[in-house]
């Protein structure tokens, strides 16, 4: 009782309220604002709206992994010695005592087995690196399948492709640094690919390695690339990526009141910031959890690198797996011409799949524009089913990539599942051509099927579970309109754009086609546009006659019709 009185007494003296900023905060803020002018910026940006969809968070996996990589990587540099100088190991690991090795390997062993927390940091660094690339990949797939790369975001898409490419190089230089036997195998393949380049191969190799492989320079050079140059570029590109995203605003999924001219969602502060912060903690938890409980890259088991040794099951990290797979699939072809050898068995698997996938990704927004003639801005995402050709192309590419990736582990598959190694190779050689085609056809059918389902839901409603008997004795199931949010989501569908004058549906246009569509390329373009664009399954939302018909709409529904037939 007395405490209450105390508060009352105080409040009569001062009267604090929640709308008033405490002096300790207001003073500092004003001081900073007067000097930085940040208040205006924050006022404008803190309320920035971010649309809500789980798949929009996938890119943040990569962003947060990058932060974890910077932190753990800095820790590792305190002990790592990027030197190929020869030392004799005298650490705690008994099975390597007295073995000659490079200083890089010895210091990596020291970090792993003697520095307190060193192994955890190394493992977190490695897991975060895998998560970094995997996060980029899933984010990129989300952007691709929802068409979020369309105008005005083509440049940000290209920055993303560049980021992915650099991440692969960053990973390659990173896992070569410990100079263990496994990383050496990767380095050797890298050298093999480089030296197989026509004309310049041997020069580039000698330039990079500072002479004959492996030389004494490569670790220190990779170290500089890995900790300074590439992270610097990555940081700059990530910033550009984020700024562009911020300025252009995030895309949103189709739904109620969501248009190309607005953004529907939660403000950055406080809602989105809390979510993003929580998601950082989740990413950190997963990285720390994996680093604690799952052993990764146990270099002490691999031994030091010697060019003469190689182990069974030498695989690269997962993001290089598709290159390994293509190398394993390739027949041993080479061309000998005037004393020069062109090793097709190395050049083709190293450059072709990478070229197809990376170039294909980079060019896709522009190819799509060329085919559809669509130069409008898009801020509302496509649902993957609503652009069936894009989705099918994406899935075909995934199956191509996935197969090569899988076959990069064909020896492990062979050993663990008792499948003959030759069978995996032969089946792989066939599937690498067949599987993308099959995937394309299957995906296309599924997309069309899903579109039909949407059209049915909008046109006839969803099954209510209520069976009604008509006076005539006929049974029908009552269909009710779908929930508003689902209906709005479905009705956000827009037909894929088509070149003007390309024709309608499958039919060729009548009369003289426009100038751009003449000639063989123009005709092909028109044909592709007809196939790619247009509305495959139109949604009839039944507005207008929905209310008049009432139960008739229900009778006309698929199930009602079937029961008619059975009777």
Partner 1 sequence: MNRITARRRHPLARYAVLLFALALLGGVYTVAAPAGQSADAAIASGKVDDVAAGKKLFEQSCASCHGLNLEGTKTGPTLVGVGAAAVDFQVSSGRMPAAQPGAQAPRKQKYPWVNETTIRQLAAYVQSKGGGPAVPSDDAVDPAKGNSAKGGELFRANCIQCHNFVGAGGALTEGKYAPDLNSSTPKQIYEAMVTGPQAMPPFNDSTITPEQKRDMIAYIVEVRGQKDPGGFGLGRIGPVTEGLALWVVGISLLVLAAIWITAKRRQKKS
Site residues for partner 1 per CB under 8 A: 52-58, 61, 94-99, 112-113, 119, 123, 127, 130-131, 134-135, 138, 181-182, 266, 271, 275, 278-279, 282-283, 286-287, 290, 292-298, 301-303, 306, 308-318, 321, 409-412, 414-415, 420-422
Q: Which residue bears the tokens 């197969």? A: 403
Look up residue 298 and give its two tokens.
Answer: 């146990």
Smallest distance, partner 1 to C-beta of residue 175, A: 9
Nearer to partner 1, 113 or 344 (CB): 113
Three-state SS across 363-402? Answer: HHHHHHHHHHCCCCCCCECCCHHHCHHHHHHHHHHHHHHH
Burial group, residue 55, by CB count within 10 angstroms (0-12, 13-18, 19+): middle
CB of 353 to partner 1, least distance (A): 17
Nearer to partner 1, 26 or 310 (CB): 310
**C-alpha dist (Å) from residue 267 to 163, 165, 249, 378:** 28, 33, 12, 21
CA distance 23 to 81: 51
β-strand partners of 252: 380
SS3 461: coil
Q: How far is the CB of 170 from partner 1 (least distance, A)?
A: 16
The torsion of the CA quartet 522, 527, 528, 529, rounded to 10 degrees, works out to 90
Q: How far is the CB of 420 from partner 1 (least distance, A)?
A: 4
Return the number of the residue (249 or 275) whose C-beta is nearest partner 1.
Answer: 275
Among residues 240, 273, 291, the alpha carbon closest in space to that of 131 is found at: 291
Q: Closer to partner 1 by CB, 176 or 410: give it.
A: 410
CB of 87 to partner 1, least distance (A): 14
335 three-state secondary structure:
strand
Q: How far is the CB of 294 from partner 1 (least distance, A)?
A: 5
Q: Which is nearer to partner 1, 218 or 253 (CB)?
A: 253
Helix pair 154-176, 118-145: axis angle to 10 deg: 150
Closer CB to partner 1, 104 or 526, in the complex: 104
Secondary structure class of 180 (helix, strand, coil): strand
Tell me the closest approach of the beta carbon of residue 532 to partner 1, in angstroms.
Answer: 30
**What is the nearest approach in angstroms of partner 1 to the Cβ of residue 432?**
19
Minimum CB–partner distance for residue 247 and partner 1 (Å): 23
Nearer to partner 1, 71 or 99 (CB): 99
SS3 state of residue 200: coil
* Closer residue to partner 1 in complex, CB, 167/476: 167
Kindly tell me which of 61 and 163 has the beta carbon lying closer to partner 1. 61
Which residue spans within 126-236 are E strands per DSSP?
none
CB of 510 to partner 1, least distance (A): 49
Judge contact between 299 and 112, C-beta under 8 A: yes
Taking each helix axis from N to C end, the angle separating 388-407 and 421-460, rounded to the nearest 10 degrees, works out to 160
Q: Closest Cα to residue 446, out of 389, 397, 485, 514? A: 389
- Nearer to partner 1 by Cβ, of 19 and 418: the residue is 418
CB of 27 to partner 1, least distance (A): 32
In the complex with partner 1, the residue whose CB is nearer, 17 or 420, is 420
Task: Report the distance separating Cα 326 and Cα 346, nearest Å.
Answer: 9
Q: Residue 451: how many CB atoms within 10 A of its CB?
A: 21
Report d(CA 217, CA 123) in Å as an integer: 26
CA 372, 378, 383, 388: dihedral to nearest 10 degrees?
A: 10
């Amino acid at each position: 009782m007395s405490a209450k009185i105390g508060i009352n007494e105080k409040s009569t003296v001062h009267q604090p309220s929640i709308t008033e900023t405490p002096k300790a905060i207001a003073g500092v803020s004003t001081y900073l604002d007067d000097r930085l002018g940040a208040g205006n910026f924050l006022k404008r940006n803190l309320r920035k709206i971010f649309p809500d969809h789980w798949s929009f968070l996938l890119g943040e996996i990569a962003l947060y992994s990058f932060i974890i990589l910077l932190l753990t990587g800095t820790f590792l540099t305190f002990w790592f010695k990027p030197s190929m100088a020869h030392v004799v190991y005298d650490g705690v690991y008994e099975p390597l005592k007295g073995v000659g090795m490079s200083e890089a390997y010895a210091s990596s062993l020291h970090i792993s087995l003697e520095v307190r927390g060193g192994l955890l940091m190394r493992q977190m660094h490695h897991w975060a690196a895998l998560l970094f690339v995997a996060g980029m990949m899933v984010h990129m797939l989300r952007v691709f399948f929802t068409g979020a790369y369309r105008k005005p975001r083509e440049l940000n898409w290209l920055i993303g492709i560049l980021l992915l490419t650099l991440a692969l190089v960053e990973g390659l230089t990173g896992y070569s640094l410990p100079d263990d036997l496994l990383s050496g195998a990767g380095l050797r393949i890298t050298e093999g690919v480089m030296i197989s380049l026509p004309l310049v191969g041997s020069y580039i190799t000698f330039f990079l390695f500072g002479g004959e492989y492996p030389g004494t320079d490569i670790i220190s050079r990779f170290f500089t690339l890995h900790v300074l140059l590439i992270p610097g570029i990555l940081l700059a590109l990530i910033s550009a990526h984020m700024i562009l995203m911020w300025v252009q605003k995030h895309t949103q999924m189709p739904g109620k009141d969501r248009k190309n001219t607005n953004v529907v969602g939660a403000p950055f502060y406080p809602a989105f910031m809390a979510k993003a912060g929580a998601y950082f903690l989740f990413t950190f938890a997963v990285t720390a959890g994996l680093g604690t409980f799952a052993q990764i890259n146990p270099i002490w088991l691999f031994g030091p690198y010697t060019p003469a040794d190689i182990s069974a099951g030498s695989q690269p990290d997962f993001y290089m797996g598709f290159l390994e797979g293509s190398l394993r699939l390739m027949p041993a072809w080479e061309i000998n011409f005037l004393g020069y050898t062109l090793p097709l068995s190395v050049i083709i698997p190293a450059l072709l799949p990478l070229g197809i996938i990376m170039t294909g990704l980079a060019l896709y927004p522009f190819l799509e524009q060329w085919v559809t003639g669509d130069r409008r801005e898009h801020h509302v995402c496509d649902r993957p089913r609503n652009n069936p050709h894009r989705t099918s192309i994406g899935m075909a590419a995934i199956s191509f990539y996935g197969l090569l990736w899988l076959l990069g582990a064909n020896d492990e598959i062979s050993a663990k599942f008792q499948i003959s190694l030759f069978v995996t190779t032969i089946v792989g050689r066939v599937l690498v051509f067949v599987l993308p085609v099959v995937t394309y056809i299957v995906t296309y059918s599924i997309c069309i099927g899903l579109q039909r389902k949407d059209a049915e839901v909008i046109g006839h409603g969803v099954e209510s579970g209520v069976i009604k008997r008509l006076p005539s004795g006929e049974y029908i199931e009552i269909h009710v309109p779908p929930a508003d949010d689902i209906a709005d989501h479905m009705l956000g569908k827009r037909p894929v754009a088509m070149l003007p004058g390309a024709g309608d549906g499958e039919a060729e246009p009548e009369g003289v086609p426009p100038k751009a569509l003449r000639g063989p390329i123009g005709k092909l373009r028109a044909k592709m546009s007809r196939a790619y664009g247009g509305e495959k399954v139109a949604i009839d939302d039944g507005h207008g006659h929905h209310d008049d018909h009432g139960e008739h709409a229900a009778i006309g529904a698929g199930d009602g019709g079937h029961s008619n037939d059975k009777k």
